[in-house]
Amino acid sequence: MTKIAVIGPGAIGSTIAAWLMQNASSDVVIAARSPLSDIEVRTPEQVLRVAPHVITNVREAKPVDWVLVTTKTYDANAAATWFEGFCDTQTVVAILQNGVEHVERFESFLPRTSILPVMVDVPAERAAPGRVSQRRNGRMVVPEGSVGSRFVELFAHTPIDVSQTVDFKSEVWRKLCLNAAGALSAIVLKPAIIARHDGVAKIMESIIRECTAVGRAEGALLDESLAQTIIAGYRGTPDSINSIHADRLAGRQMEIDARNGVIVRLGRKHGIATPISEMVVALLEASG
């Protein structure tokens, strides 16, 4: 049996836990902030219904082989309080979150070698506790290596495309460019269709160019054509509501720092001006 703890049964955590529980050799426990009885995930091809073992107190946690952290980035410190119950020297802690600082967010709690950063591109929405729609099968990417290949194995029975890469840094910076531009939807409270406005597309392009410049200074390999690809993607999915927009609509805290603030912070470190990202951060902060 592979023992797995999922910390944070929201949109991603519920989806991932429900898929893992389809494998009889996975023993899944969910660490929740709010009690939860069952999970129903509407995936593109089927409905998964599971009744997982849910705990809400770290005193109930026992050491596991894998911890999957699926809280929002701003709940990292609270998520880490579970580690003393779940982690022993063999436990791998996979961080399924957005942004480019998966390891940095948790390195004060764990040895870096225990942390596996995961790029998650699995679109999922939570309508109510334990009620989730997974809009696409999606994909996840991890750094190449023995731990990465064990992570891929965990999901071998699922339709989620899980793969390894030798260049994880570029992978997460590409995703950050997409997410950073999506902030404009959260500001104007309109879905991706705003990218069809030429002025908005120009602002998106500026955000992506700032993100690209900072990402390259951090060592990511980012294509010149990335901005045009991302804007074309937004224009082609006019109704899509990205997660920071959904968070603002629902009155939830937004991942402003992990998705836009990080460009400003790391830009300063490298002496790269990021005026448009600074403006985006200020507007999001003021609107939240």
Ligand X SMILES: NC(=O)c1ccc[n+]([C@@H]2O[C@H](COP(=O)([O-])OP(=O)(O)OC[C@H]3O[C@@H](n4cnc5c(N)ncnc54)[C@H](OP(=O)(O)O)[C@@H]3O)[C@@H](O)[C@H]2O)c1
**Which residues of the shown chain bind ligand X in the complex (CB under 6 A)?**
7-13, 31-34, 70-73, 75, 78-79, 96-98, 120, 122-124, 126, 243, 255
- Angle at the Cα of 249 from the Cα atoms of 246 and 251, rounded to 5 degrees: 110
Question: Which of 108, 13, 125, 107 is closest to 67 using CA atoms?
Answer: 13
Q: Phi and psi (nearest 5°) for 173?
A: -70, -35
Three-state SS for 205-226 is HHHHHHHHHHHHHCCCCCCCCH
Which residue spans within 144-237 are E strands per DSSP?
A: 161-165
Rounded CA gap, 110 and 87, in Å?
A: 9
Least separation in angstroms between CB 42 and ligand X? 13
Closer to ligand X by CB, 109 or 197: give it: 109
Closer to ligand X by CB, 72 or 248: give it: 72
Q: Under a CB-based contact definition with an 8 Å cutoff, are residues 184 and 200 in contact?
A: yes
Closer to ligand X by CB, 116 or 120: give it: 120
Least separation in angstroms between CB 182 and ligand X? 11
Strand ranges across the sheet with 53-55: 53-55, 26-31, 2-7, 66-69, 92-96, 115-121, 139-143, 161-165
Q: Residue 124: CB partners within 8 Å, gap ≥ 6? A: 11, 12, 14, 15, 41, 132, 133, 134, 135
Active-site residue set: 175
Least separation in angstroms between CB 15 and ligand X? 8
Specify the amino acid at residue 71: T
Least separation in angstroms between CB 120 and ligand X? 4
Collapsing DSSP states into helix, strand and coil, what is residue 42? strand
Least separation in angstroms between CB 139 and ligand X? 10
